[in-house]
Amino acid sequence: MALITGASLIAFFFVCAAAVLFSALLGRARIPTVLASAGVLAALLMVLMSITVLVTGQPFNAALWTLDGFGSFTIRLDPLSSIFLLISGIVYFSASLYVGSFLKRHGDAAYPSLRYTSLYFALMASVVLILLAGDTPLFLISWECMSILCFLLINYDPIRQSDKSAGYIMLAMSEAGFLAVAVAFILVARFAADFSFSALRAAGATLSPQTMWSAFLLGFFGFGVKAGLVPVNFWLPRSYTAAPPVFIPVFAGITLNLGFYGILRLNADLMHTGYGAGLVALIVGSVTALVGILYATTEGDMKTMLAHSSIENAGIIVAAIGAFLVFRAFSEPVAAALALSAALYHIVNHSVYKTLLFEGAGHVEAATGTREMDQLGGLAHLLPGLSVVFLVGCLAISAVPPFNGFVSEWMTLQTMLRSAVLTSTSVRIVFALCGAALALTAALAVTCFVKTYAMNFLGFRRGAWELRPESKLVSKFPMAFLAIVCLLMGILPTYILPLLNEGVAPLAGASITTALVQPFFTATPENAQLPPAFLQDFHNLGAQAGRRFIPGRGLVVLLRGGAANPVVFAMSPSYSIIALAVLFVVAWFGLRRLTRHRTLTRRPVWAGGIPRLLPLLTYTGTGFSNPVRVVFQAIFRPNIVEDTRQTVAAHFRTAIHRKREETHVVDRLLLKPVGIAVEWVANFLARMHHGKLNAYVTYVLAFFLLVLFFYRGG
């Protein structure tokens, strides 16, 4: 097996290099084909690598070379990185096909160039290297490469000279994050034998609380920048909005995950943080989720909305990671395993459906020339295929069964309920509050994506755009593939969880599959008081059903509370989908039978008897989400910058103009005061430096006196 992994690894880098070479040789016209085929091949190799590791459960190790002073560069593919590699493979598979088809059909001559291909594959290689890195130097170097490549890709837009500052802001934030991460690693490495992760892991278990907290906070900040956590995520909506549509799937589906990978690697794997760190992550995650979804719901630009939604999902994931850290610190391995698998499941889900939605959004933008939901509408008739796959994405992200979002959000909320096992009341209160915030987030997410789908695909076309005919030719396969992944992950969680378990078990100290299913069904002493027939039933239902047809686990995710709260939580999207399908079929045949003699008459839309229903008489996206804006006015604090009424003949209104401006709540509450403070200090310092000699002499004297004062006793 290790041979296969190693061979695919070599093949992967070879394919990346070959793609660049071929695009240089074959010329512009062939670049989309080269990019798509090489990308697909590379993605498949990623999947192969990760699957071999996940199935065998054996990490893959290789030493590259040794540098004096740094130790040796090593490559290590353990189950945790394999999970992220698997996601990257799935996303790259779809993204490469999408980019290829998109560029081919839309024929933007400026996109397909050698530079473009090089950047694309360089980013791919750096991402894989980050995940493969077995020691700090390699990790940091490839992380830095990834940051710079991201910046180059965002500002790589030869056609639309759009917001260049977005790229620079992102670069600045990434660099700040990188520095923090580097310091965090060095803090841990001070106590380690060398820079390899295994040495760090050994040292991480024995850190003093101060070092632990410093490393945690620095690492959490540094990786939080990439993951899009409050308050360091202001770069994210801007740069996602500015980035060319063909790249965003890569950002949203892959580089965002690296933030979670970093957090997990540093705080869960290398160090053993206390529960305080977990609470910080939990609170930051919940706040991020709520703030993210509030701004997503009220946002009118489709790309910006999806970016805010990414922030929301990052919040949910980090909240689950925080719960994992807390449970682990309290030595509750089962709950910790549940929390971590919820987080990992959600990471996979989010990458899949967010890639799908961003691809869809890019497609809509290319087809119509606008991203404004107030302008769009009625696309379901114009692009029916896209409408179906986009609907799947919206349902999945809204956590509607039978799609995958439901599974991970269910597990995340179950995790929050699991806090009942904790002994500390204050921690339980924090869990309860965060759980409420996450539940509110889930509800708002539904509003947000009902709006997104309804305003873009249903109703009338509101703006003055025309559908570009060539957009119909863009392949829907990459999106359909992801939609199918969404469905499969939604209906077969019992097959996905064992894969994730490989990554979860070493970190949590408990196996998720045994934690979720086995103890309840097998005749453990704990279950001895339950009637055997009952146990047998559940055993068959949960663990054995389907075993005769398909190799694998049962179709029910079951979860039994501890001794204090022995409630059974159960979920089976697999059975739900079967029941739903049966119901649909029965209902369909029943209806057909009932109405076989009826004729169907189509009548115009009822609009209260007005002459015609015009697009401007129907809801806009802004109007749909305005109730949310009104309810959460305390957070949005709209600032009315214009409210004018024009009249003629003193009385007749001819125009009413109103304009609102909103400052993001994080900018308003955190960044603005910091900015003002920095400016004030800078001004103060500037006033001190006015070039008068006697003043400088006074400063020196004052400093001298100060030093004397402090050291008078010494």
Say how many Å lie between the first and final Cα of the chain, rounded: 67
Separation in Å, CA 327 to CA 77, 324, 564, 697: 26, 5, 16, 59
Contact flag: residue 620 with other proteins (CB under 8 A) = yes
Handedness of CA 595, 598, 599, 602 (dihedral sign): negative
Shortest distance (Å) from residue 619 CB to other proteins: 6
Q: Which of 610, 641, 686, 693 binds other proteins (CB under 8 A)?
A: 610
Q: Which of 213, 569, 619, 632 binds other proteins (CB under 8 A)?
A: 619
- Binding mask 242-281 toward other proteins (x if CB under 8 A, else -) reads ----------------------------------------
- Stretches 266-274, 386-394, 602-610, 662-670: which one binds other proteins (CB under 8 A)? 602-610
Burial call 589-611: b when 16+ CB within 10 Å, e when fewer = eeeeeeeeeeeeeeeeeeeeeee
Tokens of 467: 């559908």
- Stretches 268-276, 316-324, 380-388, 611-619: which one binds other proteins (CB under 8 A)? 611-619
- Binding mask 47-86 toward other proteins (x if CB under 8 A, else -) reads ----------------------------------------
Contact flag: residue 655 with other proteins (CB under 8 A) = yes
Contact flag: residue 618 with other proteins (CB under 8 A) = yes
Burial call 500-522: b when 16+ CB within 10 Å, e when fewer = bbbbbbbbbebbbbebbbeebbe
Tokens of 318: 């980090």
Q: Which of 592, 603, 687, 690 binds other proteins (CB under 8 A)?
A: 603
Total chain residues near other proteins (CB under 8 A): 40
Separation in Å, CA 711 to CA 621, 641, 698, 704, 714: 67, 56, 20, 11, 5
Taking alpha carbons only, the member of 315, 147, 173 closest to residue 230 is 315
- Binding mask 128-167 toward other proteins (x if CB under 8 A, else -) reads ----------------------------------------
Q: Which of 568, 586, 614, 678 binds other proteins (CB under 8 A)?
A: 614
Contact flag: residue 600 with other proteins (CB under 8 A) = no
Q: Smaller CB distance to other proteins: residue 425 or 599?
A: 599
Tokens of 231: 């308050």
Cα angle at 656 between 651 and 659, to 5 degrees? 155
Contact flag: residue 115 with other proteins (CB under 8 A) = no
Contact flag: residue 241 with other proteins (CB under 8 A) = no
Contact flag: residue 300 with other proteins (CB under 8 A) = yes
Please report which helix (H) or strand (E) contains residue 513, including its range: helix 512-516
Shortest distance (Å) from residue 465 CB to other proteins: 17
Tokens of 610: 């007005």
Q: Smaller CB distance to other proteins: residue 475 or 622?
A: 622
Q: Smaller CB distance to other proteins: residue 550 or 614?
A: 614
Q: Smaller CB distance to other proteins: residue 301 or 359?
A: 301
- Stretches 10-18, 35-43, 411-419, 619-627: which one binds other proteins (CB under 8 A)? 619-627
Tokens of 44: 């498949």
φ/ψ of residue 464, rounded to 5: -100, 35
User: Tokens 């080269």, residue?
Assistant: 34
Q: Smaller CB distance to other proteins: residue 633 or 698?
A: 633
Q: Smaller CB distance to other proteins: residue 610 or 708?
A: 610
Q: Which of 3, 563, 564, 650 binds other proteins (CB under 8 A)?
A: 650
Residues 6+ apart with CB under 8 A from 457: 377, 378, 379, 380, 387, 390, 391
Helix residue ranges, H only, 573-620: 573-594
Contact at 8 Å (CB) between 335 and 326? no
Q: Which of 549, 652, 709, 711 binds other proteins (CB under 8 A)?
A: 652
Separation in Å, CA 21 to CA 18, 31, 77, 609: 5, 11, 28, 66
Contact flag: residue 663 with other proteins (CB under 8 A) = no
- Stretches 196-204, 345-353, 579-587, 605-613: which one binds other proteins (CB under 8 A)? 605-613
Residues 6+ apart with CB under 8 A from 383: 363, 364, 367, 467, 471, 472
Shortest distance (Å) from residue 595 CB to other proteins: 13
- Stretches 77-85, 311-319, 546-554, 618-626: which one binds other proteins (CB under 8 A)? 618-626
Q: Smaller CB distance to other proteins: residue 528 or 605?
A: 605
φ/ψ of residue 75, rounded to 5: -115, 135
Separation in Å, CA 250 to CA 12, 88, 89, 407, 699: 18, 9, 11, 24, 54
Contact flag: residue 648 with other proteins (CB under 8 A) = yes
Contact flag: residue 591 with other proteins (CB under 8 A) = no
- 68 DSSP assignment: T
Contact flag: residue 593 with other proteins (CB under 8 A) = no
| Residue ranges binding other proteins (CB under 8 A) | 300, 374, 601, 603-604, 606-614, 616-627, 629-630, 648-659
